[in-house]
Amino acid sequence: MKITIVDYKSGNISSVINSFKEVAKDQVNLEVTSDIKKIQSSDKIVLPGQGSFKSCVDALKKINGLVDTLNEFTISKKKPLLGICVGLQMFADIGYEEIETKGLGWISGKVSKINNQNGKYKLPHIGWNQIKIVKDSKIFKDIDNNSHMYFVHSFEFIPQDKNVILATTDYSSKIVCAVEKENIFGAQFHPEKSDKIGLKIIDNFINL
């Protein structure tokens, strides 16, 4: 199997690479690239994302043909993709970080700043929080409800269709932290930094 971690120069992805290497060992042919041809021939894709919604979307667009290739991979061919953090947020139609910016539009919804209730909650939401699993998914195989995951973000994805929500986490309100729509998976938390339980999620994605 060939899995590609999309490297579109959106910040630091070495932790994502290391965690996939750790889990995949030698069973998976792991590529880290933005090469269109290599992405097209992959079986699965990981879309990381750090920094702002706008900077990530801009970085994707900067690479010629990348957005079209991702669209074809996920929407036409329906092959599995995992978005992490801003990688998940970009599934939305629109994001409001820095300036109103169009997303990939794969899962209808918007990305807005977490309501910190006038400073009652610190932002970014940094640290370990429990996830409440609201829907069964292959990605959560052998993951207990209320497991701790590592978060670091100030914006949240609010999907239109609540049926795509797999899990939420409690911080000021119920924040959507995992989604699934057909072949598209997303985690707001960082499985690559969430210790053994996070690595299990990566393992589940590899073994989908």
Q: Please say whether the beta carbons of 89 and 175 come within 8 A.
A: no
Tell me which of 79, 102, 181, 193 binds another protein, using CB under 8 A.
193
Locate 150 and state its tokens: 């590592």
Look at residues 40, 59, 37 and name the one whose alpha carbon lies nearest to residue 48.
59
Binding track, positions 23-62, relative to another protein; x by CB under 8 A: ---------------------------xxx--x-------
145 forms part of the interface with another protein (CB under 8 A):
no
Is position 190 annotated as part of the catalytic site?
A: yes
Locate 44 and state its tokens: 């699965």
Nearest-5° angle of CA 88, CA 93, CA 97? 70
Burial of 154 from C-beta contacts in 10 A (0-12 / 13-18 / 19+)? middle
Which CB, 14 or 76, lies closer to another protein? Answer: 14
CA–CA separation, 173 vs 117, rounded Å? 10
Please state the closest distance from residue 182 (CB atom) to another protein, in A. 29
- Sole window of 37-45, 124-132, 135-143, 176-184 interacting with another protein (rule: CB under 8 A): 124-132
**DSSP percent split of the chain into helix, strand, coil, nearest 5:** 30, 30, 40
Tell me which of 11, 96, 108, 208 binds another protein, using CB under 8 A.
11
Is position 125 annotated as part of the catalytic site?
A: no
CA–CA separation, 93 vs 159, rounded Å? 9
96 forms part of the interface with another protein (CB under 8 A):
no
* Residue 112, strand partner residues: 156
* Residue 48, strand partner residues: none
Tell me which of 68, 144, 182, 195 binds another protein, using CB under 8 A.
195
Please state the closest distance from residue 99 (CB atom) to another protein, in A. 14
108 forms part of the interface with another protein (CB under 8 A):
no
Tell me which of 29, 127, 144, 173 binds another protein, using CB under 8 A.
127
Which residues are catalytically annotated? 85, 190, 192
Binding site for another protein (CB under 8 A): 11-12, 14-15, 18-19, 21-22, 50-52, 55, 116, 119, 122-130, 148, 150-154, 170-171, 192-196, 198-199
